[in-house]
Structure 1
Amino acid sequence: MTNTPESADSTPVGSSTIRFEPLTCSIGAELFGVDLGDVSRDDTLFTELKALLLKYKVLFLRDQDISRAEHVAFARRFGELEDHPLASSDPEHPGLVRIYKDLDSPAEHYENAYHCDATWRQKPPMGCVLRCVETPKAGGDTIWVNMVEAYAKLPDYIKTLIDGLRARHSIEATFGAVMPVAQRHRLKEYFPDAEHPVVRTHPETGEKVLFVNAYTTHFVNFHTPENIRYGIDYAPGGSNLLNYLISQASIPEYQVRWRWTPNSVAIWDNRSTQHYAVQDYWPGVRKMERAGIIGDRPF
């Protein structure tokens, strides 16, 4: 069990008595003295932890020597789990996706890009629980970003410009780009491009969230008389605006960076954050197991 530092905050969040320490002024908190196996079986502990998650958006714990069954049971407290079409799940625990990176791993994309998981789905994940199985001696950190803060700090004229805009998110244009043409087309048939608001509303907190990322390809309703005088206002005008919005995730003031150790865990709200898995550890090995929780349609 992790030792509790003297600086850990005991200030309640709602009725929470879980001890925690905020990691930045914008996002992230580390929890102490908590076993996720216990949380999976205790309604009160789970309620307290969820309140902390909604406030800090990503929670971190160390020394979580829990079983895969306990990992899955904890994640299912939030909702049913989903598989990934291109990453294998543990055979005995459907929905527990294995993200194993070693020298024999094929090239994979969009971990080392700022992204919100699976926004190419009509209903992207509500959140994820990621546990470190094996970590390199150096490198392999993950960065999370507070996209509520990213929206709040936009200039007012940008907020006005993007109000009501919608955008496409594509698995074909990202993971599918390395596939043979026929396979890529089949992937798109199974997962047609999703359309989401550029600014979504968090269904539980009511917060406004900037909701474009590495899976976003273009706006679908930018080409209107209010925005377009000539074609050049749309291309590259619209794409430049999208790139500007996507770039907001790279601002350090909105971020927290986590150094993994074996049995450490991150729990994040996928509706209000993005993340970036830093691939700076070759020839080291990094093995993670992730439970993604089915979400709802963004509005």
Structure 2
Amino acid sequence: MTHAQPQLNSRQSSAIPLLSQPLLHEKESLEITRLSPALGAIVHDIDLSQSLPDKTIVELKDILCRDKVIFFRNQNISPIEQRNFAQKFGELHIHPVFPTVENVPEVIVLDTLHNDLKDNALWHADVTFSETPPLGAVLAARHLPPSGGDTLWTSTAAAYNALSPEMKAHLENLTALHDFTRSFPLSRFGRDNKEKQKWLNVRSENPPVEHPVIRIHPDTGERSIFVNEGFTTEICGLEPEESNALLQFIFQHIKKPEFSIRWTWQSGDIAFWDNRSTQHYAVDDYRPHRRIMQRVTIMGDKPVGPRN
């Protein structure tokens, strides 16, 4: 099936020089097209089904840190190859709720025919209810609707940079709670006794966790906003009304179009994003058509804020 390319203006329609902060390493050999000043890049002429040399992995890490979400077109990649690619960037996460590919437990299946995916149709970062939220994720398009089903990403670093100095200073002193149940409530994931017992087990293993509101990127030192609608329930130490008002301000601020891009999927597309400095939104506009995506999640480290 045919899908439209992401909308780019004439300055962005071909490979262009890289003008943002310098890479961690001096030389870049991969051809890329940048999608916006805030985030996003397409990497061309690369086959992710192959075992990539260490030099290429280093370049991809650098591009990921700078551009925050990388896209690859025309990838004929199996779940095992997808896992193997992601494994080059760190230890892999096993999701406690979503089903997985048979014999490849690192690859979760996001299938709208079988899964309740309402938790993906809002701005969120993945698995921030963990003490060590993911570094990033590799997402493959397996079955697409005739139209719709786009995914948006936003740069929480760009959102932080756009705040006033006074608001930055205020947020840098704060922490927030992240709770598994906000996106995975018992009412939706405990429909029978078996599901309920699984939910209770996951809940007991993942109590609410406290993270800094402003996170320092472990590789670049860049600061970003680290609260999200998917899992953040409150700002610690504030009265409920104050917490709710501040969270709503942050959630609305992060959604501004100048911090974001929208990707129209094509068959064979792969997206690789930095979960530490982005959020994403899977647009749920294609029902009753089916959409199947497969995701591998790379484990990260404990978030560190300016006051840690």
**3-state SS of 1:37 partner:** coil
Q: CA deviation at 1:29?
A: 0.6
Q: CA deviation at 1:140?
A: 0.2
Residue 48 of structure 2 is matched in structure 1 by 36
Aligned 8 A contact 1:29 1:59 in 2: yes
- Unpaired runs of 5+ in structure 2? 1-11
Instruction: Find the aligned partners of 1:157 and 1:241 in 2 and give their Cα distance.
Output: 14
Instruction: Find the aligned partners of 1:112 and 1:87 in 2 and give their Cα distance.
Output: 15
Aligned length: 281
- The percent of aligned pairs where both chains have the same amino acid is 35
Aligned 8 A contact 1:120 1:191 in 2: yes
Specify whether residues 194 and 6 from structure 1 end up closer, same or farther in structure 2 by C-alpha distance, changes over 3 A only: closer
Is 1:8 paired with 2:15?
A: yes
Q: Give the alignment partner of residue 213 of structure 2, picking from 183, 187, 198.
A: 198
Instruction: Find the aligned partners of 1:289 and 1:243 in 2 and give their Cα distance.
Output: 31
Instruction: Find the aligned partners of 1:67 and 1:174 in 2 and give their Cα distance.
Output: 29
Is 1:290 paired with 2:295?
A: yes
Specify whether residues 107 and 273 from structure 1 end up closer, same or farther in structure 2 by C-alpha distance, changes over 3 A only: same
Instruction: Find the aligned partners of 1:270 and 1:141 in 2 and give their Cα distance.
Output: 18
Residue 32 of structure 2 is matched in structure 1 by 20
Specify whether residues 243 and 67 from structure 1 end up closer, same or farther in structure 2 by C-alpha distance, changes over 3 A only: same
Deviations 1:23-64 (A, max 9, x none): 1121101111111123x4311111111111111000001100
Deviations 1:188-238 (A, max 9, x none): 21211111000010000000110000110001233xxxxxxxxxxx23122
Residue 248 of structure 1 is matched in structure 2 by 253
Instruction: Find the aligned partners of 1:96 and 1:180 in 2 and give their Cα distance.
Output: 23
Aligned 8 A contact 2:119 2:183 in 1: yes
Q: CA deviation at 1:186?
A: 4.1
Q: CA deviation at 1:6?
A: 8.0
Specify whether residues 157 and 10 from structure 1 end up closer, same or farther in structure 2 by C-alpha distance, changes over 3 A only: closer
**Residue type at the aligned position of 2:205:** Y
Instruction: Find the aligned partners of 1:212 and 1:172 in 2 and give their Cα distance.
Output: 15
Instruction: Find the aligned partners of 2:13 and 2:209 in 1 and give their Cα distance.
Output: 47
Instruction: Find the aligned partners of 1:165 and 1:261 in 2 and give their Cα distance.
Output: 41
Instruction: Find the aligned partners of 1:87 and 1:247 in 2 and give their Cα distance.
Output: 28
Specify whether residues 160 and 6 from structure 1 end up closer, same or farther in structure 2 by C-alpha distance, changes over 3 A only: closer
**3-state SS of 1:110 partner:** helix
Q: Give the alignment partner of residue 123 of structure 2, picking from 114, 119, 138.
A: 114
Residue 71 of structure 1 is matched in structure 2 by 82
Instruction: Find the aligned partners of 1:221 and 1:32 in 2 and give their Cα distance.
Output: 47
Specify whether residues 106 and 67 from structure 1 end up closer, same or farther in structure 2 by C-alpha distance, changes over 3 A only: closer
Matches within 5 A, 1:1-299: 7-9=14-16, 13=23, 14-38=26-50, 40-102=51-113, 105-178=114-187, 179-180=189-190, 183=197, 185-214=200-229, 215-222=231-238, 234-299=239-304
- Unpaired runs of 5+ in structure 1? 223-233
Deviations 1:168-203 (A, max 9, x none): 000123212424596555432121111100001000
Aligned 8 A contact 1:169 1:216 in 2: yes
**3-state SS of 2:134 partner:** coil
Worse overlay, 61-70 or 172-181: 172-181
Deviations 1:92-147 (A, max 9, x none): 21211111113xx3533320010000000111110000010111110000000100
- TM-score normalised according to structure 1 size: 0.89
Aligned 8 A contact 1:133 1:288 in 2: yes
Instruction: Find the aligned partners of 1:47 and 1:9 in 2 and give their Cα distance.
Output: 20
